[in-house]
Amino acid sequence: MSSPRIRQAFYRITRNLCDNKTISFNAVRKLSFFDRSKTSDWKQAVSEAEKIVGYPTSFMSLRCLLSDELANVAIQLRKLVGTKHPILKTAKGFLDNGKHSLQTRGLIVLLIAKAAGAREDSFDKHEMVSGIYPDQRKLAEITEMIHTANLVHKGVVNLDNLQETNGSLNDMEFGNKIAVLSGDFLLTSASTGLAELNNTYVVEMISQSIADMMTAEFTPLRDLHGNAILKKTAAFTDWERQTFLQAGSLLSNSCKAALELVGHEDELKQAAADFGKNLAYARQMHEDLLPFISPTVDINGIISSSPVIKHTEIYNNEEDVSSMSIDELISTIQNDTETLDWCIWKCAEYGQNAVDNLKLFESSDAKNALNRIVQATTNFKQTKS
């Protein structure tokens, strides 16, 4: 996110908050601190980490990008310009973010691979580049591909629920076709890549996380069209389950698989898996808190974000939050300091668990980089001062 946008956001929220006269000036200052620290911390942690792994995760290998199939997709996508098919947004996301290392899943897999290192008795250390085996790099790439495929497939729209403004039926149908095919292409490239790793346990773990990501779309927190919804009975455990299914499972299994490829001990593999899971929780919690701090960020899915669910749980589901407007919802949560504090505390707890999971690993620059990423994700301490 660029700094002018953040500043703009800050002005807007300041104005909103002052109008509402519900949050003290202190609160506003707190939030601004948070925003600034977040972006710089995060960027710094990630760019340092990229140096440690030698070279960054290519989003997809050149082989994949240069393939006839994806070239075909790129050409076809032009036909969709002007419509609001979600695949355009996803495609734009690759190009915009490609440079700015938002592919942190792959990066984390590489870091944990390096932190675990080679086995003591191994004779193949010479194969490593910057302390990482080629197979582990392939795995990191597969992780990114699966994540992207999931984004693409989640962008398939239901044709009987179209709004005229989004685009004509034909265009949307065509958009779906492209989305299905390119998502399938990424998934099969991933599964061919997995097969090349020659380890059926890795195939099993990663396939399980694909299945989990698909299950995430069928939970009570998602409607038929993939929009976030909130049932009155929702509890925080639902949020945890949802987060695990949609993000935690892939990160956790990929971290574990990176170690499995080298044949590390079970205990270390489990620690890597738990680290991935806790980091995913912390990241999601962080993202969920953002809309209540800076309203310009993407508010999609705000209704089932952790603060809203926690709020519903604490207040015993007395208010009907799902009927509120977004503005009402945001100010309700902002007024509920108990919920916000609890969420910030919970985020820190996930972070602490993640740091604890790393204790089994010997200290190294890769481990330090992972710790800094966790810190950047859970950095709420400055906001408290």
Show contacts of 271-275: CB within 8 Å, 24+ apart. Answer: 271/357, 271/358, 271/359, 271/360, 271/361, 272/112, 272/116, 272/357, 274/353, 274/354, 274/357, 275/112, 275/354, 275/357, 275/358, 275/370
* Smallest gap from residue 128 Cβ to another protein (A): 22
Contact 353, 258 (CB under 8 A): no
Among 80, 157, 271, 366, binds another protein (CB under 8 A): 157
Q: Which residues pair with 222 in a beta bridge?
A: 228
Dihedral (CA of 224, 228, 234, 235) sign: positive
Among 32, 83, 143, 189, binds another protein (CB under 8 A): 189
Should residue 365 be labelled a site residue for another protein when binding is judged by CB under 8 A? no
Should residue 214 be labelled a site residue for another protein when binding is judged by CB under 8 A? yes
Of 14-22, 101-109, 157-165, 326-334, the segment contacting another protein by CB under 8 A is 157-165
Q: Mark 68-87 with x for binding to another protein (rule: CB under 8 A) and - for no binding.
A: xx--x---------------
Among 129, 159, 233, 381, binds another protein (CB under 8 A): 159
Should residue 191 be labelled a site residue for another protein when binding is judged by CB under 8 A? yes
Residues 222-281 that bind another protein (CB under 8 A): 224-226
* Smallest gap from residue 246 Cβ to another protein (A): 12
> Of 156 and 369, which CB lies nearer to another protein in the complex structure?
156
Q: Round to whole Å and give the CA distance between 352 and 278.
A: 9
> Of 68 and 298, which CB lies nearer to another protein in the complex structure?
68
- 3-state SS class at 21: coil
Among 96, 204, 328, 338, binds another protein (CB under 8 A): 204
For residue 350, the Cα-to-chain-centroid distance in whole angstroms is 15
Q: Which residues pair with 83 in a beta bridge?
A: 81
Dihedral (CA of 261, 265, 267, 271) sign: negative
Q: Round to whole Å and give the CA distance between 228 and 280.
A: 19
Q: Round to whole Å and give the CA distance between 347 and 328.
A: 24
CA angle 365, 53, 262 (to 5 degrees): 90
* Smallest gap from residue 214 Cβ to another protein (A): 4
Should residue 300 be labelled a site residue for another protein when binding is judged by CB under 8 A? no
Binding-site size for another protein (CB under 8 A) equals: 46
* Smallest gap from residue 162 Cβ to another protein (A): 11
Of 45-53, 123-131, 153-161, 275-283, the segment contacting another protein by CB under 8 A is 153-161
Of 15-23, 197-205, 273-281, 287-295, the segment contacting another protein by CB under 8 A is 197-205
Q: Which residues pair with 129 in a beta bridge?
A: 132
Should residue 208 be labelled a site residue for another protein when binding is judged by CB under 8 A? yes
- 3-state SS class at 160: helix
Among 192, 233, 300, 363, binds another protein (CB under 8 A): 192
> Of 54 and 226, which CB lies nearer to another protein in the complex structure?
226
* Smallest gap from residue 159 Cβ to another protein (A): 6
Q: Round to whole Å and give the CA distance between 289 and 293.
A: 7
Should residue 187 be labelled a site residue for another protein when binding is judged by CB under 8 A? yes
Should residue 184 be labelled a site residue for another protein when binding is judged by CB under 8 A? yes
Among 51, 100, 177, 381, binds another protein (CB under 8 A): 177
- 3-state SS class at 207: helix
> Of 97 and 208, which CB lies nearer to another protein in the complex structure?
208
Should residue 319 be labelled a site residue for another protein when binding is judged by CB under 8 A? no
* Smallest gap from residue 381 Cβ to another protein (A): 38
Burial class (CB in 10 A: 0-12, 13-18, 19+), 75: exposed
Q: How far is CA 110 from CA 86, 97, 143, 199, 382, in A?
A: 30, 19, 11, 18, 29
Residues that bind another protein (CB under 8 A): 68-69, 72, 153-154, 156-161, 173, 176-177, 179-181, 183-185, 187-189, 191-192, 194-196, 198-201, 203-204, 207-208, 210-211, 214-215, 217-219, 224-226
